[in-house]
Amino acid sequence: MKRRDFILKGIGAGVAAGAAFSMTGYNRVFGQATSNPPSEGYDLVAVRGGQPGPMFDRAIQSLGGMSKFVKDGQKVVVKPNIGWDTVPERAANTNPELIGRIVKHCLDAGAKEVYVFDNTCDEWTKCYKNSGIEQAAKDAGAKIAPGNTENYYVQVDIPGAKSLTQAKVHELILDSDVFINVPVLKNHGSAKMSIAMKNLMGVVWDRRYWHRNDLHQCIADYCLFHKKPQLNVVDAYRVMMRNGPRGVSVEDVVRMDSLLVSQDIVAVDAAATKLWGDEPENIPYIRIAEEMDLGTMDLASLNIDRIKM
């Protein structure tokens, strides 16, 4: 496998007098754009400088098209972060344009049906509506499903887990043929950062257990469950830099105009951490997940397509 350095210098966004983040000194480097794809294919795609929909178009094309992941007649679940009753500009939830575009690609690839859902923190109907995700998903042809009632969830075992040995998982995940995980990159008060692994807390019923029983270990433990995402798409178009996971105002948000896509959930979280300006070893659940052989945070070992639009 050809080795490539993936250089993602992060955000230098300081806080001025306790107010908004300063954009002075903001610098983000993706490195040189990739010319020819490796014979083995790409492990991760990083796109910058475009709108969410077109960035996903380029990313999925680089990975071989959605038909590589979705086959005729399959049932697909797209799992954004829709946890909060707030508008897209606050960046607490996944960008609705991105969700609509992913749904369209799935249906164009032959999916029989595409579902979009989350176990929200605020009242679910308001989260779905005010995030813009419900309308975008429906307009693209998806079905919206709730996650607010315990009887939607089925108890499963997680073999090999240290803290999270069981969980109640939403029936849509268990019944799906393809599971696409679409988090938004943002600050999180307890986990430090919410990215792809953290987003999986929205497919289970009892999140409080995770917080009471070593949150970082539970986040990594859940990734042992056999119904894993076939694709992880990290929305870094608008990024909440503080006061997460809900956010307070648009002053908490910076524009990164970026997207990261990979089948490797650890690698995509590691890349997102570098995009943020931190190192993956500083995020305990990423470090634990690599130690459990759930993926790699060594980006230099991967074939990475870096696209500037």
pTM above 0.75, yes or no: yes
Q: Which residue in 180, 184, 181 sits closest to 245, CA to CA?
A: 184
Tens of pLDDT, residues 233-291: 999 999 999 999 999 999 999 999 999 999 999 999 999 999 999 999 999 999 999 99
Whether the predicted pLDDT of 29 surpasses 80: no
Residue 32, pLDDT score: 54
* Total domains, the chain: 1
Q: Answer yes or no: is 285 within a domain.
A: yes
Strands 231-240 and 253-262, by their bridges, are antiparallel
Residue 16, pLDDT score: 28
Q: Answer yes or no: is 19 within a domain.
A: no
Distance between CA atoms of residues 206 and 213, nearest Å: 12
Q: What is the extent of the structural domain holding 131?
A: 44-308
Q: Answer yes or no: is 4 within a domain.
A: no
At residue 36 the predicted structure's pLDDT band, cuts being 50, 70 and 90, is low
Q: Answer yes or no: is 169 within a domain.
A: yes
Q: Answer yes or no: is 5 within a domain.
A: no
| 15 against 181, higher pLDDT | 181
Q: Answer yes or no: is 25 within a domain.
A: no
At residue 296 the predicted structure's pLDDT band, cuts being 50, 70 and 90, is very high
Q: Answer yes or no: is 119 within a domain.
A: yes
Q: Answer yes or no: is 116 within a domain.
A: yes
- In this structure, what CATH number is given to the domain that contains residue 297? 3.40.50.11440
Residue 5, pLDDT score: 36
Tens of pLDDT, residues 175-203: 999 999 999 999 999 999 999 999 999 99
* Helix segments in the chain, DSSP class H: 52-62, 96-108, 124-130, 133-140, 171-175, 196-199, 207-212, 215-222, 265-276, 284-291
- Across the chain, the runs of DSSP E, i.e. the strands, are 44-48, 75-80, 113-116, 143-144, 153-157, 166-170, 178-182, 184-188, 192-194, 231-240, 253-262, 304-308
